[in-house]
A and B are shown apart, each in its own frame.
Chain A
Amino acid sequence: MKSLLSVPLLLAVVGSIGCQKAPPAPAPAAEVAVATPASGVAVALEDIDPATLPVEKAVLGIAPNAAPPITRDHPAKVIVEVEVVEKSMEIATGVNYTYWTFGGAVPGPMIRVRRGDVVEFHLKNRPENTMPHNIDLHAVTGPGGGAASSFTAPGHQTQFSFRALNVGTFIYHCATAPVGMHIANGMYGLIVVEPEAGLAKVDREFYVVQSEFYTPGDYRAAGDQPFDMQRAIKEDASYVVFNGKDGALTGDGSLKAKVGENVRIFVGNGGPNLVSSFHLIGEIFDTVYPEGGSVPNHNVQTTLVPAGGATVVEFKLDVPGTFVLVDHSIFRAFNKGALGLLTVEGEGDKVVYSGLEVDEVYLSDSSPAASAMQKKAAEMDDSIEATMLRGKAVYQGTCSVCHMQDGAGMAGVFPPLAKSDYLMADSERAINIVLSGLTGPIKVNGADFNGVMPPLTNLPDHEIAAVLTYVRNSMGNKDGKTVKAEDVATARAAMPKKLDSGHP
């Protein structure tokens, strides 16, 4: 066996996390058996010599794409190769973080095998990396989940093998000391072990992993942000995100599907600390496999995903529109980034979903520290390009929920901002609408709308200026000027006093 340099403490810590996947009871006899293609006779797993298995290389899934389903009707030896890459990437627009990754992205690649497969795992630690790393796959039965056998110095590679004994959806993560930091820096992903008969066929599958990041600066505070040990220990996350960064699943990264399709999302939670209240606004999960296990639950609104755990959700799309993935521990969604979009196209009933619930919560206090940092960032560069970039971030976090990613709005309810005569006619009016909200009928581009926009007084002046600069210079609009924070301040000062209290 390959564990040449075992590190006891690592073993211990690793083992701790690896434990949670252990089955409470031996599987019933029927489940231990595997049908072989040749004879059709059930053969117990332990009687299958790995050396006789056909060998194949795993096809990995790069988030948000799931790895393809297993179509084999027999076990195989599956070669999985994963390279550890330490690199600086944007965690939010204008914010850099040094990630430690499996495969160069967060989450790491999704691995998919079949029960009974023997997985030959190769872990490669790039020569230019600073740290040793390893991997604990919760799908492994064995001490440390593979961690001790995969402990790898920079510029080296290791190999170990395991048999996938238990069906389910499992987290994997780095378990090198200090474990929390290796996870906090992005080292996790999912491994799915399909039952022999495979999973039910669906039209579309996605791969989403929630996790949180701890930095000295608050959410979206600009610049290079290192890992903050103190905040990690206090579980005071600056970011709670899907797929490794703020906005990974919004804008161009939005998940896309069509009306009528059955969708499955493999949802992981890398942690390192927080349990997710995973929810899809406007949908009800027809089926959930809680904690990634085998017993389905049905008709679920919000499902818990433990740190270091997973869940599988399945639902049929009946209506078109934009559905919002959130951690329904809701401040994380709107103040820390735990928000993603599923855009559904196609014919269907024009149903309005509960977007306004989302708006209210977003109006809660944004952190003063974050505002200060944002303000500082804002002062650094007041070019129209930089202002638009900051405005885009505000737009995607706040406005796109109703006005849609592309500014098209929704017929009759949410007026369009794209190519909008109403928006472009009067910038001062636009400022006042953001500050005071707008209720009642208006006409935009010749169409009638009658909805409610709540006041957004809690957005600081420079953010309102930035987002208006953005919408007035994109989506087919061309103003050519920035909206000034001072003008927002003037308008705010002129507001009737009672409105200033705004929403809580």
Chain B
Amino acid sequence: MRYWLIIIGLALSSSTALAAAPERVKITGDNYAPFYPDKDKDQTLVPDFEMDTFPVTNSSFLAFVKTHAKWQRGSVKALFADESYLENWPAADSVAGIENQPVTHVSWFAARAYCSAQNGRLPTEHEWEFVSRADETRVDATGDLAFNQHVLSFYSKPGGGQIDNINQTSANYWGLHDLYGLVWEWVEDFNSSIISSDNRQGGDKQESKFCGGAALNAANTREYATFMRFAFRSSLKSSYTLHNLGFRCAYDLKSE
């Protein structure tokens, strides 16, 4: 597709590794034990899908807004993005100097619209969490304390500095880069991080706020990094645009 050619063209000028990597990779789904499991089962099936190798860059997003005027800075409606939408761009139609940084200051609506334009969608929380468990060699490295500490140290870095270009970390098991260390990423069901106490235990007031009997409890409270992602997502609204929040797209496999 056209946009990918643009990306690859830009990538060639800055990073050959980038050009060498495929733009998206196939993820072979599996049953996995989510951080917040379903009430009646420990495992949830993540079907096969494809996912962008890197977070979406400013230059890719610029190509999108050029053909989708509704999503240009200055044109977007308040319902769909707050006032800091794309505010880090030097101009509404320029990403000079930040071409290969992940796009940030994008709302959930904008991220969805972008992915939709690529015939894709935002990944679900389950999909994102499933692939983020991998380190370079293992599908699931979360049992490894060193991996957890490694991820945690990414999240502990003070923010505020210039965001690095994409392709900062080597590919994980699936061939995905930069899941950690660059930016937070939107997921389709970001507003599903509803994590309640068990209301059946007594007449607590929470029952009036959340549908009764719907309890969620973390499977492993030691996964602090995962905990932090859920907390982060639950602080968001769909119009929010944050300096450190970007996204990448996922794609359903063509039915065979």
Contacts and interface: CB of A to CB of B under 8 A. Distances in A.
Q: Find out whether A and B make contact in their complex, taking CB atoms under 8 A apart as touching.
A: yes
Interface in B174-218: 184, 193-197, 205-206, 209-210, 216, 218
A127 B196 contact: no
A9 B160 contact: no
Most buried by A among B159, B222, B231, B242: B231
B119 interface: no
Contact of A178 (B194, B227, B240): B227
Interface in B233-250: 234-237, 240, 242-244
Contact of B231 (A12, A132, A155): A132
Contact of A155 (B222, B234, B242): B242
Contact of B152 (A127, A132, A151, A226): A226
A252 B102 CA distance: 44
18 contacts: A4-B237, A7-B234, A8-B196, A8-B209, A86-B158, A88-B158, A128-B160, A130-B159, A153-B235, A153-B236, A153-B240, A153-B242, A154-B243, A155-B243, A178-B227, A226-B152, A227-B153, A227-B156
Interface residues of B, number: 41
B240 A230 contact: no
Given A129-B159, A155-B84, A229-B222, A8 B194 contact: yes
B150 to A, nearest CB: 10
B64 interface: no
Interface in A79-111: 86-88, 98
Contacts of B157: 98, 130
A8 B210 contact: yes
Main secondary structure of the interface of B (DSSP, over half): loop
Contacts, number: 119
Interface string B67-107: 00000000000000000100000000000000000000000
B194 A5 contact: no
A98 B197 CA distance: 31
A152 B148 CA distance: 25
Contacts of A155: 84, 240, 242-243
B231 A177 contact: yes
A131 B232 contact: yes
Interface string B26-42: 00000000000000000
Contact of B242 (A10, A88, A127, A176): A127
Contacts of A4: 237
A181 interface: yes
B149 interface: yes
Most buried by B among A12, A128, A130, A181: A130
B132 to A, nearest CB: 16
Contacts of B227: 177-178
Contacts of B209: 6, 8
Given A8-B194, A8-B206, A230-B149, A132 B235 contact: yes
